Amino acid sequence: MLKYIFKRIIWMPVLLLMVSLIVFFLGVYGPGDPIEVQLGNNYDQESADRIREKMGLNDPVVIQWLNYVRKAAVGDFGESYVFKNREVSELLIPKLIVSAKLNIISFVIAIAIGTPLGFYAAVHNGTVRDPIVVIFSLVFYAMPVFFTAPFLILIFALQLDLVPAAGWGGVFDKRIILPAITIGIPGAAVFVRLIRSSMIEVLDTDYVKLARAKGVSENKVLWKHAFRNAMLPVVTIMGFSLAGLFGGSLIVEILFGIPGVGRISLDSVYSRDYPVIMAIVLLGSSALVVANLIIDFLYTLVDPRIELQ
Amino acid sequence: MFSKFKIILLSVFLFIMFSCGSDEISEENSSVGKSSNVAPGLESNSGSSSGSKENVFRINFSDPPTFDPHLVTDTTSASIIVEIFSGLVTLNKDLDIIPDLAESWEVSDDGTVYTFNLREDIKFSNGENVTAQDFKWSIERSANPDTGSYNADVYLGDIIGVKEVIDSNGGIQEVEGVKAIDDKTLEITIDSPKTYFLAKLTYPTAFVLSQKYLESMGDDWIDSPVGTGPFVLQEYQIGQILKLKRNDLYWGEKSKVDGVIMNLAGGVSMAMYENDEIDITGVGLADLERVKDPNDPLSKDLVDVPPQFTLSYIGFNVNMAPFDDENFRKALSHAVDKELIADKIYSGLTKPAYAVIPPGFPGYSPSINGLEFNPELAKDYLSKSKYSDPATRPRIIVTIPGTGGSPGMDTEVISDMWRETLGVEVEIQQVEWATYLQDMNRKRLQVWAGSGWQADYPDPQDFIDILFYSGSDVNHGNYKNEKVDDLILEARTELDQNRRFLLYNQAEQIVVDEAPIFPLWFDTDGYALVKPWVKGYSFTPIIVPKYKDMYIE
């Protein structure tokens, strides 16, 4: 198993190199140019060329890419083109931490609400309670954040005056409540549906029937035999949610005034701030690779029959 | 100190579309020409929710890309930089050029040598004295390609020697045309008598930095900038908060507020305002109805925001068929009822434009005859044009910037009016901002909408010369008229202000008659909400230091 993990880990840099190459070339050969965006209508060929020269943007693309990779390998992601004299890491790290904190809380909310409800619906499959839970979760799932966010602000900040309308103070600040719920609720709905369908499938298997037939108590059937098996697909989804931990939700961040990574991700694309785009993409790819690894590992815990090799 | 050539969208699209996600919750005025109307940066939020009434002003803002005056290209940075730094001259709210660090100045008879007498008591915020040598060094720093200024040639290029320094690629450091005669006397020589030169010095590119401080700090100076403005930077956390505090060494009257807190993290600014988390917010079309209602408590806080000096227009590329035909361009211009659009779509928040220079701007002339709405005349021009036959008329593609998927309401209605009145069909193509800029700068768009021009400095040269001189980089439609070029060249060096403005107006009339652009809107008053305890806050159409004169009651 260690060998397996080791193999996966040495593949990582290769994957990241490929990702960086693709993103780099897309940036260079796609339309638009960082210098041009900043010059706006003051653009003139001469000054643009001068600035490009200074920033090394006139070098052959492969050279630029190699330079980038060489520095990135030792953790130097360069300076932002837009935010002058600012290291990309200096720009991104505080924002990534904020987004991660918010995402973790939202994730906990999603699991805490989603798992019991999904379980409840599955156990009551065939009664009216099941479709009620499913319908509710679908309704919540279907509500876009640009609806729920202002709605929550209107009720809890403006009408009831329980929390401020916007701002950020970390995990233990009450201002995290509304945004975490906004992100967590649709997430909970996903878990409800997933766990429900997975449970229903498992409850219909022969080994559960056998367990029941031999008189194992219902509680034990549900928890020991069914639930653990039903968790397998859930783990996959959880893993991928973890990969998205450092991703920001643009709309939620904007509406609740959270200094996360969502807005800078989008802005960097529009302003062609390549160093920032690269860092975000590379980070996202690494997170996905790592999450995959963790998922595989978790499989072995949930289902001992699975072996990594 | 005015916003860059700025396109209404940088703010409309970058801010409203992406940032806010959906229109109904956006605070900004979403009409064309309106977005930047709310003092730049009423967009983001204030960290503390500790009630009000401290002697600080709380405002939503967005991250300034830079604090370095010599690198500024955007309005967000500029509006913070003018609070922290300053230069020889500045503008008052009526756009007059007034002394700032220079107490007075003399201009030589031939109009090319400016001698500035600096104030005696001026200090940087770290206590050092400001000398003429600092100015000379600052201008040379601006021009030096190593600094990486994007617009030194625009604002300082008239000074003898600046272009040489820019082109030398580091070889030449010294600007010949700037001399520090003594500690308090600075002499600047420009290449020809240009009366708008002083106006350019009001832009941050010409601001003074402390030579000693920058040289001792290296690149780190920008983390704790030292300037000569009414405020100093107290705290800055990227994406979170920016705090300004009073500069007690400011030469003029010290600020009445202790400081300004700018929330940079976003938030629904209208809700934050209602919740007393910020002291000011812009009001968008969506909220306007509600806050105007006298029964709404917010209506008491409603204040007018004066118009920005912007012109939004549809540009035609006169090198491309069918826009190489003046009659065709005129037909389109006469076919649109702008009054109707302004009234029905923008609820009067925008003013139809029939000329180029906005009302209230230096050089504005009310007597320019524009191409008014006249369907008959429009049809007439169309039949006279060589593209009257739809079967042989080239395809017309109107390019607009943005990623929202829906073009601005005005673009849609205008294309509809062209179809109804003239039977002229156009296609609207939306491209993402950076792509739009690239195509526009290469002058290869056939028709473009959704953009405009905002004054950088208060002189008609900034509209007429920049937009319509045949050699201008910003003349994106390749317009060329020798008479217009002659008038512009003459105006550049005309010393008599009235005659200069007249020359620009003559050029403007020719341009309007030949319709290389279709002027759409000038800005009009917008609205903002300001808390009752905030006194003396004034909105200005251009970026000037504005926090020092206000106070909290």
Q: In this structure, are residues A185 and A140 in contact, taking their beta carbons and an 8 Å threshold?
A: yes
- The CA distance from A26 to the nearest CA of chain B, in Å, is 14
Q: Locate B392 and state its tokens.
A: 């042989």
- The CA distance from B422 to the nearest CA of chain A, in Å, is 32
CB within 8 Å of A213: residues ≥ 6 apart:
none
Residues A85-103: what's their mean pLDDT? 87
Distance CA A237, CA A302 (A): 14
Q: Say yes or no: ipTM exceeds 0.95.
A: no
Q: With bands split at pLDDT 50, 70 and 90, how would you rate the model's confidence at B202?
A: very high
Which of B25, B44, B277 lies nearest to residue A146, judging by beta carbons?
Answer: B25
**Most trustworthy range by pLDDT among A79-83, B168-172, B354-358:** B354-358
| Rounded percentage of chain B residues whose pLDDT exceeds 70 | 90
Per residue in B213-255, pLDDT tens? 999 998 889 889 999 999 999 999 888 899 999 999 999 999 9
Identify the residue with better confidence: B478 or B29: B478
**Which residues 269-328 of chain B have a CB within 8 Å of chain A?**
271-272, 274-275, 277
pLDDT over threshold 50, residue B132: yes
pLDDT over threshold 60, residue B34: no
pLDDT over threshold 60, residue B27: no
Q: What confidence score (pLDDT) does residue A227 get?
A: 83
Q: What confidence score (pLDDT) does residue B50 get?
A: 42
Q: Locate B324 and state its tokens.
A: 């190489």
Residues A245-270: what's their mean pLDDT? 82
Q: In this structure, are residues B271 and B45 in contact, taking their beta carbons and an 8 Å threshold?
A: no
Q: What confidence score (pLDDT) does residue A308 get?
A: 63
pLDDT over threshold 60, residue B465: yes
Residue contact A95–B68, C-beta within 8 A:
no
Element of type H or E holding B27 = none
Distance CA B421, CA B411 (A): 15
Q: What confidence score (pLDDT) does residue A309 get?
A: 60
Q: What confidence score (pLDDT) does residue A41 get?
A: 67
Residue contact B434–A259, C-beta within 8 A:
no
- Cis peptide, bond prior to residue B69, ω within 30 of zero: no
pLDDT over threshold 60, residue B46: no
Alpha-helical runs (H) found in B161-284? 162-167, 197-200, 211-217, 269-274
Residue contact A85–B68, C-beta within 8 A:
yes
Best of B43, B45, B444 to mutate (most A CBs within 10 Å, chain A): B45
Q: With bands split at pLDDT 50, 70 and 90, how would you rate the model's confidence at A219?
A: confident
| Rounded percentage of chain B residues whose pLDDT exceeds 90 | 53
Q: Locate B452 and state its tokens.
A: 């405009």
pLDDT over threshold 50, residue B8: no
Q: What confidence score (pLDDT) does residue B407 get?
A: 66
For chain A, how long is the longest CA-to-CA vector?
Answer: 85
Q: In this structure, are residues B333 and B371 in contact, taking their beta carbons and an 8 Å threshold?
A: yes
Q: In this structure, are residues B433 and A268 in contact, taking their beta carbons and an 8 Å threshold?
A: no
| Rounded percentage of chain A residues whose pLDDT exceeds 90 | 5
- The CA distance from A271 to the nearest CA of chain B, in Å, is 7
Q: With bands split at pLDDT 50, 70 and 90, how would you rate the model's confidence at B6?
A: very low
Distance CA B42, CA B85 (A): 21
Per residue in A123-174, pLDDT tens? 888 899 999 999 999 998 888 888 888 888 888 888 888 888 888 888 888 8
Query: Within an 8 Å CB–CB cutoff, is residue B253 touching chain A?
Result: no
Q: In this structure, are residues B545 and B90 in contact, taking their beta carbons and an 8 Å threshold?
A: yes
Best of A254, A256, A276 to mutate (most B CBs within 10 Å, chain B): A254
CA atoms within 13 Å, Cβ hemisphere of B266: 26
pLDDT over threshold 60, residue B158: yes
C-alpha closest to that of B298 among B321, B317, B281: B281
Distance CA B176, CA B136 (A): 10
Distance CA A54, CA B241 (A): 31
Which of B45, B239, B435 lies nearest to residue A32, judging by beta carbons?
Answer: B435
Residues B439-455: what's their mean pLDDT? 87
pLDDT over threshold 90, residue B45: no
Which of A39, A145, A165 lies nearest to residue B272, judging by beta carbons?
Answer: A165
A152 phi, psi to nearest 5 deg: -65, -40
Q: Locate B79 and state its tokens.
A: 């509006």
Q: What confidence score (pLDDT) does residue B349 get?
A: 78
Q: In this structure, are residues A145 and A182 in contact, taking their beta carbons and an 8 Å threshold?
A: yes
Estimate to the nearest angstrom the gap between the alpha carbon of A44 and the chain centroid. 40
Q: What confidence score (pLDDT) does residue B404 get?
A: 67
Q: Locate A240 and state its tokens.
A: 């991928």
Per residue in A1-10, pLDDT tens? 677 778 778 8
CB within 8 Å of B263: residues ≥ 6 apart:
A166, A167, A257, B44, B45, B46, B47, B58, B59, B60, B61, B240, B241, B278
Alpha carbon distances (Å) from B188 to B157, B167, B202, B207: 12, 20, 15, 14
Residues B498-526: what's their mean pLDDT? 93
Q: With bands split at pLDDT 50, 70 and 90, how would you rate the model's confidence at B32?
A: very low
Does pTM surpass 0.80?
no
Q: Locate B215 and state its tokens.
A: 């040289």
Which residues in chain A touch residue B65, judged by CB atoms under 8 angstroms apart?
82-84
> B4-13, B91-100, B257-266: which range is least confident on average?
B4-13
For CA atoms B409, B410, B415, B419, the dihedral sign is: positive
> A4-8, B127-131, B199-203, B326-330: which range is least confident on average?
A4-8
Distance CA A285, CA A295 (A): 15
Alpha carbon distances (Å) from B457 to A26, A178, A212, B229, B521: 38, 44, 84, 19, 19
Best of B235, B240, B241, B457 to mutate (most A CBs within 10 Å, chain A): B240
C-alpha R_g of chain A: 24
Residues B72-101: what's their mean pLDDT? 90
Distance CA B200, CA B43 (A): 28
**Most trustworthy range by pLDDT among B51-55, B207-211, B214-218, B433-437:** B207-211
Alpha carbon distances (Å) from B474 to A25, A42, B205: 29, 7, 20
Distance CA A110, CA A234 (A): 12
Residue contact A258–B22, C-beta within 8 A:
no
Residues B103-112: what's their mean pLDDT? 93
CA atoms within 13 Å, Cβ hemisphere of B138: 27
Distance CA B540, CA A209 (A): 77
When the pLDDT of each residue in chain B is averaged and rounded to a whole number, the result is 85
Q: What confidence score (pLDDT) does residue B113 get?
A: 95
CA atoms within 13 Å, Cβ hemisphere of A44: 14
Which residues in chain B touch residue A178, judged by CB atoms under 8 angstroms apart?
none
Distance CA B33, CA B42 (A): 16
Which residues in chain B touch residue A95, judged by CB atoms under 8 angstroms apart?
238-239
Residues B6-14: what's their mean pLDDT? 33
CB within 8 Å of B192: residues ≥ 6 apart:
B111, B112, B158, B492, B493
Q: Which amino acid is at B447?
A: V
Residues B108-114: what's their mean pLDDT? 92
> A22-36, B365-379, B460-474: which range is least confident on average?
A22-36
